[in-house]
Structure 1
Amino acid sequence: MKFISVVSVPVSDQERAKSFYLDQLGFTLVAESTFGDDLRWIQVGIPDAQTSLTLVTWFDEMPPGSLRGLVIDCEDLDEQYRTLADRGVPFNGPPSRQPGGVFAILSDPDGNQLSLRQAGS
């Protein structure tokens, strides 16, 4: 094995989720296509990162909003927090020290929770 390439994020509305991840979080569109019976593959990612996210609607076992524990490392968490909060990204609170670094938890439109982390701070 080499690395994790794609993580599935369960969403209810792919267009709304795509807008959030691109416009508010600043991700880029990696791929978008249709497949199967009217299914869409929408893959977004942080520029220059190996791992990306696909915004999925087709896993019954993964209801929209059920993602927890995805951690995104940041060089300057305070700056990233302010930038994203100014773009209307909802956070559970300000950055706080936890085991493993300083974290700020944000939610996408479906309630999926992603943690921003600055290690070693």
Structure 2
Amino acid sequence: MIRKIGKITLYVSDQESAKRFWTEKLNFVVKFEQAMGPNMKWIEVGPSEDEFTTFVLYNKEMMKKQNPSTNVEHPSIILSTDNIDKTYEEIKNKGVKVGEIMKMPYGSMFNFFDEDGNQYLVRED
């Protein structure tokens, strides 16, 4: 089942500028950085190397292209699990509205919705 609040996605206009802001002005560290194609990176920053929860600095325009229905005007919450298939089945079997499991090169994940229609993401770490 879900074990931690893993990541909070901040949709930003300029990933490098946002990275500098969090690392240079707030003393965060880059926890993970990986190219996701020619024009995009997956960047995670956190207050320390030991902190599990991170901010994902995700390109706002890229998200609008990938999923036009995503509200990029506020952060997205990503919850963590160590078994995506089991967590998916447990949540789905409890009557929670869920999306399909997405298998990406950088991880497996799925969306679910609360009673008010708020969307969350669960990702296997």
Give me the TM-score of the superposition, normalised by structure 1.
0.50
Q: Determine which structure has the larger helix proportion and give its number.
A: 2
Give me the TM-score of the superposition, normalised by structure 2.
0.48
